[in-house]
């Protein structure tokens, strides 16, 4: 459930309150007089009603600075009954869109974490250390822009899709570039054997696609969207990054070691995985929207 709090001129409060109360899913609405002729409207809003409520506020010219929508976690008197209230099982699209917008930009923290993931993954590829590669996947936040792009596709917001996909591409390119730089420096400083070749490593599977590549990427896409909705991205992000970070790092290490010719397969794997992730996660979100509509 969501809580709406809105302040505006007192002479507009009563008519707007009546219009909001008429929207299905808006309950316990109250209009409280405030100082300087203002009034405050407070109401409980079920998730499916959040978009109609915001649309109504925009239609009557209420500024985004004059209202706030927050999430409520109800624990009494009967949280089980409340959790299964009509319409409350549907996705909170307003919240999803807000999170998607905030995660679709290449913020400094996102870029820093992707760069760190590139360093760790590069060392994992060089040393053939699976633990380091898993650590890099845990650090990587690439789940966030990927899920944001899927939200944009389902909600038909092309600008959001372009921004999120761009952020994802920038992050994965940064992982590869950092991995290339780390490998080059290791070689220049003499930490790599003269006969070191990433192509002869046991991680050569990162350059080939088969049925397992497809199945893993599709399953990871479903997990990506479900965790994005439930705020469990930190716990499950490593499952999604298994399809992106290793291939990006392998490509970077190959380039940094002067083996660019053998890195093409890793790029193909990366493109295939990202495409399947987007398809699977988008289909998951779209099917939830369709099922929610049928329940309503």
Residues 28 and 123 in one domain: no
Whether 70 and 168 map to the same domain: the answer is: no
Which residues constitute the domain of residue 237? Answer: 94-295
Instruction: Identify which of 195, 144, 190 has the alpha carbon closest to the alpha carbon of residue 165.
Output: 144
Judge if 41 and 170 occupy the same domain: no
**Least confident residue range of 57-61, 75-79, 209-213, 284-288:** 75-79
For the stretch 55-98, pLDDT in tens is 899 899 988 888 998 887 766 665 544 444 444 444 567 778 88
**pLDDT (mean) for 171-197:** 93
Choose one of 89, 111, 134: the last residue of a domain: 89
In whole angstroms, give the CA distance from residue 295 to residue 201: 52
Under the banding of pLDDT at 50, 70 and 90, the label for residue 253 is very high
Query: Rounded CA gap, 266 and 252, in Å?
Result: 9
Judged by phi (left if over 0) then psi (alpha if -120 to 50, else beta), residue 201 lies in: beta
Comparing C-alpha atoms, which of 129, 145, 117, 131 is closest to residue 245?
A: 117
Domain tally for the chain? 2
Residue 111 pLDDT greater than 50, yes or no: yes
Percentages of the chain per state (helix, strand, coil), in multiples of 5:
70, 10, 20
Task: Examine the domain organization and report whether 232 and 103 are in the same domain.
Answer: yes
The CATH number of the domain holding residue 31 is 3.30.70.60
């Amino acid at each position: 459930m969501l809580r709406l709090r809105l302040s505006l001129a007192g002479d507009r409060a009563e008519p707007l309150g009546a219009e909001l109360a008429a929207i299905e899913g808006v309950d316990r609405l109250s209009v409280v007089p405030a100082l300087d002729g203002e009034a405050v409207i407070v109401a409980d809003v079920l998730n499916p009603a959040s978009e109609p409520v915001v649309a109504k506020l925009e239609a009557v010219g209420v500024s985004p600075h004059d209202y706030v929508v927050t999430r409520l976690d109800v624990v009494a008197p009967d949280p089980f009954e409340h959790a299964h209230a009509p319409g409350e099982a549907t996705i909170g699209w307003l919240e999803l869109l807000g999170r998607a917008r905030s995660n679709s930009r290449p913020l400094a923290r996102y870029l820093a974490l992707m760069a760190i993931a590139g360093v760790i993954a590069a060392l994992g590829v060089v040393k053939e250390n699976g633990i380091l590669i898993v650590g890099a996947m845990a650090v990587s936040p690439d789940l966030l822009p990927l899920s944001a792009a899927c939200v944009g596709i389902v909600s038909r917001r092309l600008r959001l899709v372009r921004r999120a996909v761009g952020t994802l591409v920038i992050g994965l390119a940064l992982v590869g570039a950092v991995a290339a730089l780390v490998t080059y420096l290791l070689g220049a400083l003499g930490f790599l054997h003269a006969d070191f070749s990433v192509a002869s490593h046991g991680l050569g599977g990162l350059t080939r696609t088969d049925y397992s590549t497809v199945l893993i990427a599709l399953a990871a896409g479903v997990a990506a969207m479900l965790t994005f909705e439930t705020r469990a991205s930190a716990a499950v992000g490593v499952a999604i990054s298994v399809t992106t970070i290793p291939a990006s790092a392998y490509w970077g290490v190959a380039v940094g070691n002067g083996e660019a010719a053998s890195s093409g397969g890793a790029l193909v794997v990366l493109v295939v995985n990202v495409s399947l992730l987007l398809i699977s996660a988008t289909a998951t979100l779209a099917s939830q929207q369709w099922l929610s509509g049928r329940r309503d």
